Structure 1
Amino acid sequence: MSQVLLLLPDFLLIVAGYLVCRHTALDRPVWDGVERLVYWLLFPVLLFVAILRQPLQAGEMLSFAGCGLAVVGLGIALAYALGHLQGVDALTHASGAQTAFRFNSYVGLAMAERLGGVQAVAWIALLIALCVPVCNVAAVWPLARRSGQHFGRELARNPLIVATVAGLLCNLAGLRLPEPLNITLTRVGSAALPLGLMAVGAGLQMGALRDAPRLAAAFLGIRHLLLPLWAITLVITAGLPSAQQSVVVAFAALPTASSAYVLATRMGGHGGFVAGLVSLSTLIAMLGLPLALAALGWAQAA
């Protein structure tokens, strides 16, 4: 399968969720339960296992990790800045801002394996471990503030943050799961991606993007244009090894996290708007990700 088609199965799962929800007996009430299952159990388990699986050492590959954090940091800063523009609806911005800097770690793991095998998977696992907590805190903050919920309480009970921090701490402590438990949790987590993407499709309201088309374009422009260009600049300037450069640039060009829709819905945000952003982001990344890697190749050759 070519890089251009790598994300096609994910997009088809979104379409499948849309069709199943609207044209079968498995309608909206069924998918409300699926969303809760994915958010509270499946995604956290997958994150925990993915982070724990690859041994990490505190302080390793500082330049590489710094580039990943710098990519996320710019995305957060730009997304937050859009909220200060005149005429931007506060709740719509709070709901959609996360799509500019969050990333689909499951697609990232698959892409890393294609780019560099086991070693690249270990590198992307490091970025996941460092950046997921940062992204989730940044995603929860505007939603908690706009919905009137307590920020600290929302962080403490956010299952994605809890699972990521737990995985990171266990990894750094050198803890490893017994093989039967590891296999069991891996199988539980493996259901997160298909069900999560289908839940996005079930909640899809492409028309909701018409509520703020310029804001949607700005979020996706940050996610799929500015961040990959920033990543290319960073890795070339930092002089990272070629294989690590590819991983960082691919990381910057990933589609936004499918769980962004679930988070927005659970915290009283504009779920339909976020569902449209997630779907468009997945479609854009099908072409944008290989183009970002091609641009890196041109920069390396220059």
Structure 2
Amino acid sequence: MLEIFLKTLPFFAVIGLGYLSGRARFFTEEATAYLTRFVFYFALSAMLFGFAANLDVAEIFSWPFVFAYLLGTTTIWLLVAAVALYRGTGKEEAVFEAHTGVIGNVGFLGIPMLALLLGPAAVGPVLLVLAVDLIVFSSILTMVITGLRAGRVSLATFGVLGMGLARNPMIVSVVLGILWGSTGFSLPAPVNEFLTLLGAAATPCALFAIGASLAGRSAERLQVAAWLSFSKLVMHPLAVAAACWLFGVTGYAAGVMIAASALPVAGNVFILAQHYRVAPQRVSTAILLSTAASVLTVTGVIALVSQGG
């Protein structure tokens, strides 16, 4: 446990540095926004393309893996939504609480950290988790919110979903990388070095941006946020672990999936909450609390799966 904690500590130390820089106003909200844009559109995309181009999709893709993650995540999604409705929360707020309780920071935090701690082979399973989060659960969120507001889901809704996926650089870079890898050709040396150089900036810049963005968040609705953080950090990985057992997903792949499920709430959930004007402060506080608590919880889960637990 201590060894894993010492390995994860530098990641959270960079997040802490970003947080302190944001609190001291040395790094403004505008600067954080531009840094995040650089990571999202350039550095992380280069990293993902490079990873995907060197993956054997037939070797990493597994329907039991996908179904296990879908079942575990859907179970917690429905549970959190049901608890919100039981409290008397509005339907839109319940949907966003459910989304907050299951969507982790896989892109900015999970890929670099799990690849380092669990080995390069973790990239393939983590990309599968990221794809399900982006393609399935983000689409569900959009369709449900649109349906609640319009009273129905039209063909135009699916058009919006398709355009959203096509404009997401993480999805595009992974798809293009897989397509290149399927050709059997190696990347030209200058291109590979370019991607390596640019992708190397993804990890420190992404972690710093996470911390700086947290500095601008205020803590409100603490009880609800604590419940959502508990759902994300504890209940979600437990449900995914149970689903892995049910679908027969074992060993390394199961460990990576469970570790990815234990990541704190993703920052893009707040962006969606702001866009739809639904419970942004509630989501913001959950991101803050879950990221702070994940220093211990993520360390514990990674230590457990690393030992075959």
> Shorter-chain TM-score category?
0.7 to 0.9
Q: Pick from 95, 117, 133: which aligns with 2:135?
A: 133
In the TM superposition, residue 269 of structure 1 has moved relative to its aligned partner by 6.4
Between the aligned partners of 2:131 and 2:216, the Cα distance in structure 1 is: 32
CA contact (8 A) 1:68 1:131 kept: no
Look up the equivalent residue of 1:214 and give its one-letter code. Q
Q: Pick from 88, 106, 110: which aligns with 1:107?
A: 110
In the TM superposition, residue 94 of structure 1 has moved relative to its aligned partner by 6.2
Q: Pick from 205, 208, 211: which aligns with 1:198?
A: 208
Between the aligned partners of 2:60 and 2:16, the Cα distance in structure 1 is: 42
Q: 1:208-258 CA deviation, whole Å, 9 max, x = no partner?
A: 331x32331232122112122112222333344433332232222223334
Alignment of 1:1-302 (within 5 A): 2-57=3-58, 60-81=61-82, 84-88=85-89, 97-105=98-106, 106-115=109-118, 117-138=119-140, 151-152=160-161, 153-171=163-181, 177-204=187-214, 208-210=218-220, 212-261=221-270, 264=273, 273-292=282-301
What RMSD over aligned residues (CA atoms) do the two structures have, in Å?
A: 4.0
Look up the equivalent residue of 1:200 and give its one-letter code. I
Look up the equivalent residue of 1:251 and give its one-letter code. A
Between the aligned partners of 1:10 and 1:227, the Cα distance in structure 2 is: 22
CA contact (8 A) 1:88 1:215 kept: no
Between the aligned partners of 1:100 and 1:253, the Cα distance in structure 2 is: 11
Count of residue pairs brought into register by the alignment: 298
Look up the equivalent residue of 1:201 and give its one-letter code. G
Change (3 A) 1:157 1:22: same
Q: 1:141-168 CA deviation, whole Å, 9 max, x = no partner?
A: 5677799996434444333343344444
Change (3 A) 1:119 1:197: closer
CA contact (8 A) 1:231 1:248 kept: yes
Change (3 A) 1:244 1:289: same
Change (3 A) 1:61 1:252: same
Look up the equivalent residue of 2:200 and give its one-letter code. S
Between the aligned partners of 1:147 and 1:10, the Cα distance in structure 2 is: 40
Q: Does the residue aligned with 2:57 lie in a helix, a strand or coil?
A: coil
CA contact (8 A) 1:260 1:274 kept: yes
Task: List alignment gaps of at least 5 residues for structure 2.
Answer: 151-155
Q: Does the residue aligned with 1:209 lie in a helix, a strand or coil?
A: coil
Change (3 A) 1:248 1:24: closer
**TM-score (ref. length: structure 1):** 0.74
Change (3 A) 1:140 1:52: farther
CA contact (8 A) 1:205 1:272 kept: no
Q: 1:35-75 CA deviation, whole Å, 9 max, x = no partner?
A: 33333333333333333332211884332343233333334
Between the aligned partners of 2:97 and 2:23, the Cα distance in structure 1 is: 24
**TM-score (ref. length: structure 2):** 0.73
CA contact (8 A) 2:81 2:97 kept: no
Change (3 A) 1:168 1:257: farther
CA contact (8 A) 1:133 1:164 kept: no
* Aligned counterpart, 2:153: none
